[in-house]
Amino acid sequence: MALARVSSSTTSGESRSAFRAGLGLDEETWARGRGWALWKALILRAGLSETTAVEFRQPDAVLTAVLVD
């Protein structure tokens, strides 16, 4: 599951597709990983009242990637 989060936060487009295909995970496992990534990003986003701009954007990027996937 953590691999889906890694994919969501570090890859995009064609590289994400290649990463996912290389793992050989079934749809249900990938969906659980996406759910975990969504949960983790929302937790981070909810507590970011005092943070740096880089830390503030990271959960947003993960949220976008998970929702697009």
Chain segment 1-29, per-residue pLDDT in tens? 455 545 555 566 677 778 778 888 888 98
The total number of structural domains that make up the chain: 1
Alpha carbons 8 and 66: distance in angstroms, whole number: 6
pTM: 0.65
Q: What is the spatial distance between Cα 2 and Cα 69, in angstroms, rounded to a whole number?
A: 15
- Write out pLDDT tens, residues 43-64: 888 886 566 777 777 888 888 8
Distance in angstroms (rounded) separating the CA atoms of residues 38 and 8: 9
C-alpha neighbours within 13 Å on the C-beta side of residue 51 = 13
pLDDT of residue 12: 63
For residue 53, give its domain range: 2-68
Q: What is the mean pLDDT of the chain?
A: 75
Q: What is the pLDDT of residue 60?
A: 82
The pLDDT value recorded for residue 68 is: 81
